[in-house]
Amino acid sequence: MGLIHITGDIAIDPEEIRMDYVRASGPGGQKVNKTSSAVQLRFDAARSPSLPEDVRRRLISLAGKRITREGVLVINARRFRSQERNRQDAIRRLAALARRAAEEPIERLETRPGAASDKRRLVQKRRRSQTKKLRREVPGEDDRGA
């Protein structure tokens, strides 16, 4: 297996990935308790020499609960009944996550509110003011019932 290409200049060496094969849960007939078809992929994202620092930070952030305290990304693949297809699925999911982490987030440019939104705000403000004004007690009309 060759390098796992993430972007044009980022690739992960397969030596950095550890795969454990475990028994998958779910249906499978008589053979289910004898074969280890599920794959658990482990990739040490925190110490990987293949990833630039900014990509590493974003990958750890994107991984969420799939990352251990030590910074190891764990991907469980048990979608398929064959070990080989689960292995390919785990690698594909690692590459997809790393590709998302490689994308630099676009910084938001602060803009001024538009004229229409400003007008809506002022109209709403006047309406609210009027509502509160109408709730006030009218001065000099405390003996209305007499």
d(CA 94, CA 6): 9
pLDDT at residue 23, rounded to an integer = 80
Write the pLDDT tens digit of every residue in 17-53: 888 888 877 666 666 667 778 888 899 888 888 888 8
pLDDT at residue 90, rounded to an integer = 92
Say what the pTM is.
0.67
User: What is the average pLDDT value for the chain, to the nearest integer?
Assistant: 85
CA 116 → CA 112, 113, 128, distances in Å?
12, 8, 18
Whether 138 is in a domain gets the answer no
Residue 79 has pLDDT above 90, yes or no: no
Residue 64's domain spans which residues?
4-102
pLDDT at residue 144, rounded to an integer = 59
Whether 81 is in a domain gets the answer yes
The residue among 104, 111, 91 whose CA lies nearest residue 13 is 91
Tell me, what CATH number does 94's domain have?
3.30.160.20
Number of structural domains in the chain: 1
Q: Helix count (H) and strand count (E) of the chain?
A: 3, 5
